[in-house]
Structure 1
Amino acid sequence: MLSGVSLAGGLAPLSVSPDLIRSPAPRLVPQTPAVEPSVERVVDVPVEVRPSSVLPAVEPRQGAATASPVGGATVTDTAGQVAAPRSQSAEAAGVGDDPVTMSETAPAPRSPVAASPLERGATQVSALRIVGVRAVELVAEGEAELVRDSRVLTADRVIYNELTDEATADGNVRLSQEDDWLIGDWARLIVHEWVGELDRPRYVFSRQSQARPGVAPRTIVGTGGADVVYFEGENRYRMVNATWTTCEPEDPDWFIRAADLELDYDREVGVARGATLVFKDTPILWWPRMSFPLAEQRQSGFLVPTIGVSNKTGFDLAVPYYWNIAPNYDATITPRLMGRRGLQLGGEYRYLSQNYSGEIRGEWLPKDRVTGESRSLGAIQHDHRITRRLRASLDYNWVSDDDYFEDLSSRIAVASRVNLLRQGRMSYQGDWWSVQGLLEGYQTLDGFGPYRRLPQLLLSAYRADLPAGLAFGFSGEYVDFKHKDSAFAEGRRTHLRPQLSLPIRTAGYFLTPRVSLNHTRYDLGRSLVGGRDSITRTVPVFSIDSGMFFERDSAFLGQSYRQTLEPRLFYVRVPYREQRDLPIFDSGRFDFGFAQLFSENRYVGVDRIGDANELTVAVTTRFIEQSSGAERLRATLAQKYYFDEQRVTLNELGKPAVEDARVRRRTDVLAAVSGRVTQAVSVDSLWRYDPFDGETQRFNFALRYNPEVGRVLNVGYRYARELLDGREGLKDVDFSAQWPLGNRWYGVGRITRSIKENRVTEAVAGVEYLSTCGCWTFRTAAHRFATNPDRVTNALFFQLELTGLGGIGPSPVNLLTRSVPGYGKINEPMSDRYFGTD
């Protein structure tokens, strides 16, 4: 139930450290460059204003005095000072009349004329009045502006020192660099180094995250204020008594308040010391050292704690610590306190290389307060690409007891796990053939479990470039089956299946005749009662698949469509071979559906090759919207006809019969209708009808109304007269929805009710809230499910998701996505309308 901030999603953790709050840095003392530029001495005589011979000046603002000080020009008279008067044209243009303000979208600066490539690095100073000494210092007053490439400094008064490249600004100071904005009272800055300070700043930083393989860049917007901000180079800032948030700057719903705040946009990491997380003017979390992501950047530290409640675990608190060991290695250590069970320790280690990747997980509960026993879990997954064609993998899982998942997990998919895979695999891929070997077993938590394969070797090949358009295929297998129960047969099975086909396809029809041979040998160490130890079976198979394509233009409700008609015939001929003395290792019946109707073998696996002399007849029609090419509706009707009686079954020697031989000459009728009828309405249905008894054997229906993200209604009905394994059928109704309740609240939920058992088998109910500015979202959901009628699990989720920071509490998003088809995260408006989001 509990999980920290997802690493795959790229959200970095909150980190905690006992670091002391760093004291404000002293004011910077700029250093004089080692090589001084050539400077002309000042004389009390008139000097002509001219552009620099080193870096040319850009065009001045109309009505303003302008200087290009680098290498420069000086404005003086015989008294040493002359003020350039404000011209009437400047007054008419209203230059500089707007006050310096802060808003959600920062005001556009007085843009300099774009510099040519040769002018890059040039400095332009402009104002209503400029006084100064050539190549030493300029004093610009009245709507003063200093421009260097994309950096712009504006203020009531700017003093610029050419020797040190230092600018000092007073009154209504505004600093901008591309999409970054800072406003304050006083500033000092070494322009080319972007080093300096700004008093009482308010800021808006808007950046795009660094591009990474598989991660789309996103815009990073952070706003706040401070007593002072220190510029520590390109993309690095440190602030004293500062705030940071992704909300609107005027009245943020949440923010981090810190005695010392560092923002490093190169590393995409923010660090706050003496930090308090404030939500709705209420402090909710304090850390001595808190780090947070400015993008999808991983970093060591504590993840946001997750809190939940379950009837199996009681109060549930997990505090994960994330360790970013290296760019391709990391680990998560998770202490978990469960009110009813005790203290559990969990860990996860992940690694990634150019040729291999993997994950190791473990959990340990020293003493369960309910059972009094120690309980644990372990899992290893590893995938290794040894060469371009050779690969190996390992998937090994285990738990200490059969009830581990049911007692300690709140997810139905996990709580109902029965067989834990233990598999090692190696494969080689050739140009037109492949081979693989594996060792496979299971830890079975309930029942006898499947066979172990120790080992299994597989070979497959396919060539479609033979003469006369022929195609050749081959599949082979050797496997040694073992079972822990002595009542089950075990032994080795070898199976070979070559096949030859002649595919013919045109725009109007297709025809594919195919012939194959199934040869199987069994060498049993433990045979069936009354059976042989060594058995051989050879069965030829012939099939022919054919179809035609017709189309016409049609119209419905004023919309033009192309309607298709696609009849299909599929014939199979397989002679009878006695197979009751062959053990069933991995074979079973196909669930009756379209896949079974167009299969050469009615059984899954190769322990049974069903005798057949049968023909499947099917027809499909599709409606394709001509304006967009989208398929709006598809309908299929199919039935299989038998020309001989069935003789091969799944029954084994010495065991009770599990299948009766078919006596009917044709199957049930299978019909399906599906499509997206409109942009908002989709339908999916399947009907299996028994024409002999006049009864419905199976019926599934699902209707979805999804006009936009956050608005979806689903209605479903499932009926089965009998399940595949012979158990009593089911009759369920299912309702799920996500819908606005008003005032930015959304309701979400699902209920599945068994009509046969007269009980609710699963229920989900929750609400979501999206803030006005979209910078935070609240979700809560309750989940109740039953793995069987006697065992019911309840779980409760609460999450506060702060945009750009992460989530506090266990996220119900995965639960809601699985439970409500079409669910969309309300704080992600681009979520897919039809498939939802994770």
Structure 2
Amino acid sequence: MKLRFLLLAALFILSLLTTPHLSRAETLALRESPRRLTFNADSLDVDGETIVAEGNVTIAWDGKVLTADHARYERVGGNVVAKGDVVLIDTDGNRVECESVSLNMETLEGEITEGNLYLSDSGYRISAKSLRRTGELTYEATDASFTACDGSSPSWRFDADWLKVRIEEFLTGGNAVFRIEEVPVLYTPWLIYPAKTQRTSGFLPPKAGWTTRGGTELKIPFYWAFADNADITMTTDYKSRLGLGETFDLRYILAEGHEGNFKVKVLHDKEEDDNEAEVKGEHLSRFGRDDLLDLKVDYVSDASDYREDSETLELRGIVRKESRVYGAHTMEPGTLFLLGRWTQALLEPQGDTLQQLPRLGFYGVETPVVYGVNSFTEVEATRFKRDEGVDGDRFRVNQGLTKGFGDNSGGVRLGAGYRYNYYDLNSETSEKSGPWLEADGRVALGREWGEALHIVEPNINWRWEEQNRDDEVEYFDEEDIFKDSSTIFLGLTNRILNTENLRELFLLEFGREVGVRHLTRQGFASVDWENYRAVMEISPFADVKLRLDGEYADDDGGRFNRWTGLLTAKDRRGDELRFERNYIRGEADYLDGGLIIPFNESVSASYRNRFSLKDDIRLEDEAGLKFSHPCWEVTLTYSRVYMADEDRIDYRYYATVTLAGLNRLGKFRW
């Protein structure tokens, strides 16, 4: 009897192990060559070649994930049918949400009902009653809509009878209507739109406006991403009174450490029947850690028109443009460099403008000699060139010794050396030379007052120079100055820091230089006190700062040679205030102020005004209104600009519209 019972129990257990029916399993992993599938659900039923999953279903394979309320998978053919809150995410993060899907898990082809397609990187969304996935990167949709807005009620969208999408290429559609807030704005029988998750070529939002000088203006930019490491933006610029222009803006990375950008702007001026051009760009190449090449180009063909047509006050205030080529090789003894600088004068005669073509030099590092004494050498050869006036070559040498004492809390630095300049100007040679001594001392004193740290740093610099030979030569830059005197600079830095975050609450830098002529039998030949120089910054709050910067002369009863005051403030709501005054004795005195007021998250207003107190005239004012939305942005500006050369006011109106996703350049990489 006992043996019979054991046999019956063994047969029952064996029948459970060999039955083809498995119920209420939670996790199942299958090796479906060449894929591995993992099923998770509240309930899993395996019946032969069919797997049925119910409740919180998750199917993962090859980096893709499908979730649903119910799913049925047929191992023969590799097809899955899922229903109820279906979500399908591919390896790139693109996402499909729908009510039901019938999909082949190998080819990813299938039918999607009541679905939404989200392209992860670009933010594009396609909704359709019927959406068919015809491949891993292709879709077809009927009764569909397309937008780049988030949310169930997008602010703008295209509705179309049909759409075809190929990710990383284009979206096409037929009988499309463009709607803004459900209002139909534009109909097109054929729609084509970039559907790339990375950078893509296409038109960017236009900018429209009107000015007194240019008339009606329209800018239409086209962006061409012709390579992963380069792109170009080509903008057609139409001005009804001036003519038609083109702007080419190139960005590139030739290799790691070698990159640049160049802009070429051409305008055919129909008033004067000639062409105007502007070239501007920079290139930087780093050859390892020790070598670099820096190239800058900045040139305009018509200086007067450039200043008149510039859109900002800062650009109209430029008085010269500089182009250069700079190369440097750093070695253990120092840096060998070559510099060529060409300057274009916008206001002064170009023939009087001094050029440095080229400048070759070596700046040596401080090298230990003996007993803590360091030696350094500076050598330069420069060719100065201009069409009118004195030009020629200058060779300069500065050899010196230095020694320092002290630490971070204070110290003294001593220096001594000899300077020599040799000139060959207009076929005439001359020299300047002389020894020099220098001493620099400083000390840092600090004390904490609660949450504030007060630091006082007095410093003094003394420099003595003697002229052994001082021929009369043309002045080119500060290296041509040889003083037969002693110069003492007295300075004081006073600052208060917040000990919690080391934010600077208060800063005062004050200094004055005094020049003393050499001692004779009768005493000092002369003592010349230079102007006071001071900078003060007050920042009681993180978003509030007042800065004062000036130079004061005590001759003729005392007066300021120049001073600048700048106040900036911003509150938590987003209100911004900026007020500045600039004064240069005998040249300029103007106020420059502006503010930004956000009425809410969607609407903000701005205003800026620049007024000349010296000439009693408004130089420029601009009022702007910005309407912002996650899906679009509209900016309206109105400005009045004083054109000094023509003594008139230029009125300017501009409107800029941006739709989400339309002006994204994407990732730029090598």
Aligned residue in 2 for 1:834: none
Q: Residue 669 in 1 paired to residue 536 in 2?
A: no
1:705-727 CA-to-partner distances (Å, cap 9, x unmatched) read 2123732112223333x2xxxxx
Structure 1 pair 166/716, CA: closer, same or farther in 2 (3 Å)? same
Q: Does 1:123 align with 2:39?
A: yes
Q: In the alignment, what sits opposite 2:373?
A: 470
**Distance (Å, rounded) in 2 between the aligned partners of 1:326 and 1:622:** 51
Q: What aligned pairs does 1:370-409 form with structure 2 within 5 A after superposition?
A: 370-378=271-279, 381-385=282-286, 389-409=290-310
Partner AA of 1:327 in structure 2: D
Alignment partner of 1:494 is 2:379? no
The one of 430, 434, 452 equivalent to 1:561 is: 452
Q: Match of 1:152?
A: 66
CA contact (8 A) 1:410 1:793 kept: no
- TM-score normalised by L of structure 2: 0.83
- Conservation of the 8 A alpha-carbon contact between 1:677 and 1:683: no
Corresponding residue number in structure 2 for 1:543: 438
Partner of 1:701: 565
Q: CA offsets, 1:486-505, max 9 Å, x none?
A: xx111111111122211223
Alignment of 1:524-673 (within 5 A): 524-525=425-426, 533-555=428-450, 560-576=451-467, 579=470, 581-585=472-476, 587=477, 605-644=478-517, 665-673=528-536
| Cα 1:373–1:459 shift into 2, 3 Å | same
Matched ranges for 1:313-462 at <5 A: 313-354=214-255, 356-366=258-268, 368-378=269-279, 381-385=282-286, 389-449=290-350, 450-462=353-365
Match of 2:129 in 1: 227
Q: Distance in 2 between matches of 1:680 and 1:806?
A: 31
CA distance in 2 between counterparts of 1:181 and 1:351 reads 32
Q: Against the structure 1 CA distance between its residues 378 and 471, is the aligned structure 2 distance closer, same or farther, given a 3 Å change threshold?
A: same
Superposed, 1:782-821 pairs within 5 Å as 782-786=638-642, 788=644, 790=647, 792-806=649-663
- How far off is 1:187 after superposition? 1.9
Is the alpha carbon distance of 1:694 and 1:431 closer, same or farther for their aligned partners in structure 2, counting shifts above 3 Å? Answer: same
- Cα deviations across residues 629-652 of structure 1 (Å, max 9, x unaligned)? 322211223222333389xxxxxx
Q: Which residue of 2 aligns with 1:735?
A: 593
> How far is 1:154 from its partner?
2.3
1:478-489 equivalence runs, <5 A: 478-485=381-388, 488-489=389-390
Q: Structure 2: how far apart are the matches of 1:803 and 1:694?
A: 58
Q: Deviations over 1:51-93 (max 9, x none)?
A: 999xx99953xxxxxx959589xxxxxxxxxxxxxxxxxxxxx
Q: Which residue of 1 aligns with 2:74?
A: 161
Distance 1:550 1:71 in 2: 74
Q: Which residue of 2 aligns with 1:32?
A: none
Change in 2 beyond 3 A, CA 1:416/1:125: same
Aligned 8 A contact 2:165 2:195 in 1: no
Residue 250 in 1 paired to residue 148 in 2? no
Which residue matches 2:180?
279
CA distance in 1, matches of 2:347, 2:265: 21
What is the rounded CA distance, in whole Å, between the counterparts of 2:252 and 2:602 in structure 1?
A: 42
Structure 2 equivalent of residue 177 of structure 1 = 89
| Matched AA of 2:37 | G
Q: Which amino acid aligns with 1:699?
A: W
1:680 partnered with 2:543: yes
| Secondary structure of the structure 2 residue equivalent to 1:299 | coil
The one-letter code matched in structure 2 to 1:715 is: F
* Superposition deviation, residue 166 in structure 1: 0.7
1:713 paired to 2:577: yes
1:195 maps to what in 2?
Answer: 109
For the residues of structure 2 that align with 1:645 and 1:255, how far apart are their CA atoms? 82
Give the distance between the partners of 2:463 and 2:200, measured in 1 at CA.
Answer: 60
Pairwise CA RMSD: 3.7
Report the AA paired with residue 151 of structure 2.
Answer: P
| CA distance in structure 2 between the partners assigned to 1:679 and 1:547 by the alignment | 30
Shift of residue 625, structure 1, vs aligned partner: 1.5
Asked if structure 1 preserves the Cα contact closer than 8 Å seen for 2:138 and 2:164, the reply is no
Distance 1:465 1:800, change over 3 A: farther
**CA drift at 1:583:** 0.5
Structure-to-structure mapping, 1:260-279, within 5 angstroms: 260-262=163-165, 264=167, 267=168, 271-274=171-174, 277-279=178-180
1:554, distance to aligned residue in structure 2 (A): 1.6
Question: As a proportion of its length, which structure holds more strand?
Answer: 2
Match of 1:508 among 396, 405, 409: 409
In 1, are the aligned partners of 2:205 and 2:657 still within 8 Å (CA)?
Answer: no
Report the AA paired with residue 309 of structure 1.
Answer: W
1:122–1:357 distance in 2 versus 1, CA, 3 Å: closer
Greater relative CO (CA pairs within 8 A, separation 6+): 1
Please state whether the residue corresponding to 1:667 is helix, strand or coil. strand
Asked whether the 8 Å contact 2:171–2:192 carries over to 1, the reply is yes
Q: Following superposition of structure 1 onto structure 2, how do residues 752-771 of structure 1 map, counting pairs within 5 Å? A: 752-771=610-629
- How much does 1:626 deviate? 2.0
Deviation at 1:159, TM superposition (A): 3.6
Q: 1:300 to 1:729 in 2, by over 3 A?
A: closer
CA distance in 2, matches of 1:248, 1:190: 29
Q: Write out per-residue CA displacement over residues 122-158 of structure 1, whole angstroms, 9 at most, x where no aligned residue.
A: 234656x96x8412x3566x75845336623425x64
Q: Deviations over 1:392-413 (max 9, x none)?
A: 4544454443434135432344
Judged with a 3 Å threshold, the aligned counterparts in structure 2 of structure 1 residues 310 and 476 are, in CA distance, closer, same or farther, namely farther
Q: Which runs of 5+ in 2 are unaligned?
A: 1-13, 520-524, 666-670
Q: SS of the residue aligned with 2:472?
A: coil
CA distance in 1, matches of 2:602, 2:31: 59
Q: Is residue 238–residue 263 contact of structure 1 (8 Å, CA) maintained in 2?
A: no
Contact 2:236 2:244 in 1 (8 A): yes
Cα distance in structure 1, aligned partners of 2:344 and 2:499:
54
2:632 to 773, 776, 781: 776
The one-letter code matched in structure 2 to 1:683 is L
Matched AA of 2:128:
A
**Whole-angstrom CA distance in 2 between matches of 1:536 and 1:71:** 89
